Amino acid sequence: MRHLLSTQDLSRGDAIRILDTAEEMAAVGDREVKKLPALRGRTVVNLFFEDSTRTRISFEAAAKRLSADVINFAAKGSSVSKGESLKDTAQTLAAMGADAVVIRHWASGAPHRLASTDWIDAAVINAGDGTHEHPTQALLDAFTMRRHWSRLAGTGSQGADLSGMRVAIAGDVLHSRVARSNVWLLRTLGADVTLVAPPTLLPIGVEQWPCKVSYDMDRTLEQGVDAVMMLRVQGERMNASFFPSTREYSRRWGFDDNRLRSLDTLGMKDTIIMHPGPMNRGLEISSAAADSPRSTVLAQVRNGVSVRMAALYLLLSGDTREPAATPGAGHFAGAAPSTKESI
């Protein structure tokens, strides 16, 4: 793997390898000294043309935990406002010695462009491009699900996939790069995915995606789900009205208090509620659902650091070994086993 641009072209082996490496990184995060010398002398540039809280900060934390140097670039306040192009911006940063460029851009395809030209000679990681993909988000989501289900099964998660798990991804699929990356990755890992959305918020051609589609949230829940992933209504990408009112939206497609109660009534005691953040509380998810013990919202953020450490490590260290068959015997043998009960 030279770049991480999409989950669509990620093989099952590569995906499992990233998740297994992330487990080892999580064990490092539980140590008193959370740092590894693995990327000492390497430079990671965070190139953000769109706003971010979680992704930018967790890539920074991940790179620092691996002892890399980090340069943070935000388009706001930079010479991009003077008209500087992506190419010139990237080359300027590369001239400062970037080994990896983590890029978030409003244009779908910008990371691919960076990776497919000779503008720079660095590993490129897609941190979200337009409405296209957000691969590290999908990986951290899969990591969170895998941990949860392994714990329920009382087995280790190393080497495991998500075979047979039922995942509903609900809401603004049309504008969501999180949904796209998740559909491909979850499918590769063997999960059974259903998209739930109003017809106006589903993309053209969705019937060709490797998943089912439903317009009915309650019916989908009644059929049984192991995880419900709520998507943010992306107002900033909407240039028209996609649903009659916010009230109507939250009643029909939001995860509200009634639906939270219905998980108990339906006997789904282990079903988790996910959200990539940032959340519109009261619109696609109620506060009771977001803050309930079923919610993995903060676990997802925590796991994001481990997954991004794994991605940076695998891309930059040149380590091509297969993951170890036994936990604790892999890249970071000696890492203390996780004692925290976390998903």
Residues at the interface with ligand ASP (CB under 6 A): 128, 134, 177-178, 232, 234, 276-277
Min dist. Cβ of residue 276 to ligand CP (A): 4
Residue 128 or 254 with smaller CB distance to ligand ASP: 128
- Pull the structure tokens for residue 144: 């969170």
Among 109, 159, 277, 328, binds ligand CP (CB under 6 A): 277
Tell whether residue 72 is a contact of ligand CP (CB under 6 A). no
Residue 182 or 194 with smaller CB distance to ligand ASP: 182
Binder of residue 53, out of ligand CP, ligand ASP, none (CB less than 5 to 8 A by kind): ligand CP
Binder of residue 177, out of ligand ASP, ligand CP, none (CB less than 5 to 8 A by kind): ligand ASP
Among 11, 40, 53, 163, binds ligand CP (CB under 6 A): 53
d(CA 49, CA 64): 21
User: Are residues 173 and 237 in contact, defined by beta-carbon separation less than 8 angstroms?
Assistant: no
User: Are residues 47 and 71 in contact, defined by beta-carbon separation less than 8 angstroms?
Assistant: no
User: Are residues 78 and 89 in contact, defined by beta-carbon separation less than 8 angstroms?
Assistant: yes
Q: Across the chain, how many H-helices and E-strands are there?
A: 11, 9
Tell whether residue 111 is a contact of ligand CP (CB under 6 A). no
Residues numbered 117-146 forming contacts with ligand CP, rule: CB under 6 A: 128, 137
Min dist. Cβ of residue 234 to ligand ASP (A): 6
Residue 221 or 233 with smaller CB distance to ligand CP: 233
Min dist. Cβ of residue 128 to ligand CP (A): 6
Which segments of 140-200 are extended strands (E)? 166-170, 192-196
Tell whether residue 338 is a contact of ligand CP (CB under 6 A). no
Is the bond preceding residue 111 a cis peptide, omega within 30 degrees? no
Residue 232 or 259 with smaller CB distance to ligand ASP: 232
The residue range among 52-60, 189-197, 261-269, 322-330 that interacts with ligand CP, by the rule CB under 6 A, is 52-60
Long-range CB contacts (< 8 A, 24+ apart) of 289-298?
Answer: 289/230, 289/255, 289/256, 289/257, 289/259, 289/260, 292/260, 294/260, 294/263, 296/144, 296/148, 296/272, 296/343, 297/273
Binder of residue 232, out of ligand ASP, ligand CP, none (CB less than 5 to 8 A by kind): ligand ASP
Residue 14 or 51 with smaller CB distance to ligand CP: 51
Tell whether residue 278 is a contact of ligand CP (CB under 6 A). yes
Min dist. Cβ of residue 138 to ligand CP (A): 11
Strand partners, 124: 101
The residue range among 13-21, 47-55, 147-155, 311-319 that interacts with ligand CP, by the rule CB under 6 A, is 47-55
- Region of residue 230 (left: phi > 0; alpha: psi -120 to 50; beta: else): beta
DSSP at 68: -
- Region of residue 193 (left: phi > 0; alpha: psi -120 to 50; beta: else): beta
The residue range among 16-24, 148-156, 253-261, 275-283 that interacts with ligand CP, by the rule CB under 6 A, is 275-283
d(CA 228, CA 281): 16
CA atoms within 13 A on the CB side of 316: 29
Applying CB under 6 A, the residues found at the interface with ligand CP are 52-55, 128, 137, 276-278
